[in-house]
Amino acid sequence: MPNQGYNNKNSFCSVFELIAVFRYVTAPGPYFYGPSILVGPAQGDRVFSACRSLLNLAVFQYLATELERGYYAISDSVLEIDIESTRPKSLDIGILIIVGDDHNDTDYRLALDSTQCYAAMHGYDFKIERITPEWKKRCPETDFMFARHCVASHLLHRHEWTLFLDADVGVINPNRFLDDYINEASNGTDLIFYDRFFCWEIAAGSYFVRNTSFSQQFLMKFAELEGGDLPNSFHGRDNGAIHWLFVREFFPNTSSQVDPSSCMAIWRESTDFVDLFVFEACTRLIFGEVRYFHAAPENGGPGIVELLPKGTGWMRDIWLTQSKVSPDTDFMIHGLKHSIEIPGIDDASAMERARARRKFEMAIDEVAGRAGT
């Protein structure tokens, strides 16, 4: 049974006609298509004429698949939410999201609303900080992805602990507490990062950070990598840079079988995501199985950075499971953008968003294909 009705008679064609076209053009049998027309047996003429402007075949088929998926999607489980928060408010924790001065809230509204609601529910402070011209004087990095870590370093004084988040992170299980990740950390921990699922990458878009001088210095060094060791290559912005920062700060005199200069050579020659992932894997050979990184006094220490293993962090990427989530294991989800949301048939931007989603998924498939060769 469908989970939503459809009665928009002014729409270009109904969801059922779109699904019929998709099934028709993907079924065995003769059909011919070009850049702008598709010709088939007579019984399909009415549908084709109704949907003629959608006949960029590859994108059209993808859109129809998306519409069918969204129209018939039914949740397999129901999450019961405790309206009255049971959070023990012993820790001072704030949630910080930093955005550019030209940030478009519309694309991130679902994520931002869910996180703000979660914060209000459990008594966490919630702030969205825009990088204004005044901030740019204090944080001169030209790439927003680096400048935001500089801004964060200047705002740690607001709370004992701060959770730094990307703007496209939403809460899908509000029964979980941020406090648990801090309480489970080792005594004296200054920052907590986590490993992403799909490669050897440390997530740079979210971390817990304690208000200490070491934390402030560490984030400033992170931001300043833009004008320092960052190579003129496909460097991955802060996603790639965080790995070199770990090597430089915690393994200055490494005895690893891998020379850091070998990793840097890979980074300098990087041309795409596959090269970037190889560089990141190279740095992880230097790390070994270390999960607690101790900074020496010459590197701003003493200080401790904890790195949570795959599957134990507070969030993951939503595209890993085709937008399916688990109320038992998921807490926060990364990648909640309207521009890549599965479109509805009555959405005026459905075709544009389907095209964007298809491009994104093709890029992932290409990376996976290259990595396997």
CA distance 370 to 122: 44
Task: Indicate the range of 148-157, 221-230, 236-245, 294-303 predicted with least confidence.
Answer: 294-303
For the chain, the average pLDDT equals 77
Distance from CA of residue 167 to its chain's centroid? 9
Q: What is the pTM of this model?
A: 0.74
Tokens of 180: 């648990």
State pLDDT tens for residues 162-173.
Answer: 999 999 999 988
CA distance 268 to 273: 13
Q: Which of 273, 184, 278 is nearest to 237 (CA)?
A: 273
Burial string for 26-55 (b: 16+ CB within 10 Å, else e) reads eeeeebeeeeeebebeeebeebbeebeebb
Structural domains of the chain in order of their starting residue, each with its CATH number: 15-74+342-371 (no CATH), 93-230+238-253+288-308 (3.90.550.10)
State pLDDT tens for residues 103-135.
Answer: 778 888 889 999 999 999 999 999 999 999 999
| 300 Rama class: left (phi>0) / alpha (psi -120 to 50) / beta | left
State pLDDT tens for residues 289-307.
Answer: 889 999 877 766 789 999 9
Residue 80 clears pLDDT 80, i.e. is over it: no
Using alpha carbons only, give the angle 269, 274, 276 rounded to the nearest 5 degrees: 55
SS3 breakdown of the chain: % helix, strand, coil, rounded to 5?
A: 45, 15, 40
Q: Which pLDDT value is given to residue 72?
A: 43
Place of tokens 């701060």: 162
Q: Taking residues 22-29, report their average pLDDT.
A: 40
Q: Which pLDDT value is given to residue 163?
A: 98
When comparing pLDDT for 304 and 88, which is higher?
A: 304
Residue 7 clears pLDDT 60, i.e. is over it: no
Place of tokens 């820790």: 91
Query: DSSP readout, 146-188?
Result: HHHHHHHHHTGGG-SEEEEE-TTEEES-TTS-THHHHHTSPTT
Q: Which pLDDT value is given to residue 26?
A: 40
Residue 28 clears pLDDT 50, i.e. is over it: no
Distance from CA of residue 122 to its chain's centroid? 24
Burial string for 274-300 (b: 16+ CB within 10 Å, else e) reads bbbbbbbebbbebbeeeeebebeeebb
